[in-house]
């Protein structure tokens, strides 16, 4: 809430039950995708197990950010997040 254009936003992701692959973020604004790597929940309570990236939306609007990760069996987990960027 209260996100403004150009404001950095922190995105965290953590995949469970696999260490295969990496998470790929698509922020829904046409910017290049970003690849990160979480720990796959190897250490259940590890505070640093999340993969963190930041992103800035340059224009106001409603965006659908998507993150996905595929394991060695070809199964893909997908998460989506609605991001509302308000006018200045």
pLDDT above 90 for 9 = yes
pLDDT of residue 36: 95
Q: Which CATH superfamily is domain 8-85 in?
A: Immunoglobulins (2.60.40.10)
Give the start-to-end residue ranges of the domains of the chain. Answer: 8-85
pLDDT tens-place string over residues 29-78:
999 999 999 987 877 777 788 899 999 999 999 999 999 999 888 899 99
Where does the pLDDT of residue 12 fall: very low under 50, low under 70, confident under 90, or very high at 90 and above? Answer: very high
71 or 13, which is more confident? Answer: 13
How far are the Cα atoms of 19, 49, 54, 55 from residue 10, in angstroms, in the given order? 22, 15, 4, 7
């Amino acid at each position: 809430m209260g996100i403004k254009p150009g404001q950095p936003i922190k995105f965290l992701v953590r995949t469970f039950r696999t260490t295969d692959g990496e998470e790929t973020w698509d922020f829904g604004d046409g910017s290049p995708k970003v690849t990160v790597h979480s720990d796959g929940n190897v250490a259940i309570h590890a505070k640093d197990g999340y993969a963190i990236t930041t992103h800035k939306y340059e224009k106001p609007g409603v965006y659908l950010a998507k993150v996905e990760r595929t394991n060695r069996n070809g199964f893909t987990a997908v998460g989506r997040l609605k991001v509302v960027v308000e006018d200045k």
